[in-house]
């Protein structure tokens, strides 16, 4: 590994570090409320991002997690209903089959 022979002087360090400047952060206007906002961030005034409501600050906010949970429960109930319907169909077919067998036995007697 390379090791410097001598220490770097203060003026050399200062010249190298002279290009470290603070930059002004990029800002834009919110498309909904017109407030000045940092780019690629949620508006602190109205709670929107790229024209969509994403924060609780907006009165029209709907939590997507709650919506997904309700959809999942709805899917579960439909699956259960389908399995119950299939089970009842199987039971009905079994009953019809037993009735046919009994009818054939009665004819044979």
**Which tens digits make up the pLDDT trace of 27-80?**
999 888 889 999 998 888 888 888 777 777 766 777 766 666 666 665 555 666
Closest CA to 35 of 5, 15, 19, 58: 58
Mean pLDDT over the full length of the chain: 78
pTM: 0.40
Joined tokens for residue 105: 């036995």
CA angle 20, 26, 30 (to 5 degrees): 165
CA distance 109 to 99: 15
């Amino acid at each position: 590994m390379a090791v410097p022979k001598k220490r770097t002087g203060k003026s050399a360090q200062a010249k190298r570090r002279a290009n470290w400047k603070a930059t002004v952060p990029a800002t834009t206007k919110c498309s909904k409320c017109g407030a000045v906002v940092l780019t690629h961030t949620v508006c602190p005034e109205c709670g929107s991002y790229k024209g969509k409501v994403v924060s609780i600050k907006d009165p029209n906010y709907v939590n997507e997690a709650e919506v997904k949970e309700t959809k999942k429960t709805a899917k579960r109930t439909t699956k259960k209903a389908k399995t119950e319907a299939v089970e009842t169909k199987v039971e009905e077919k079994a009953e019809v089959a037993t009735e046919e067998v009994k009818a054939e036995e009665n004819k044979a007697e």
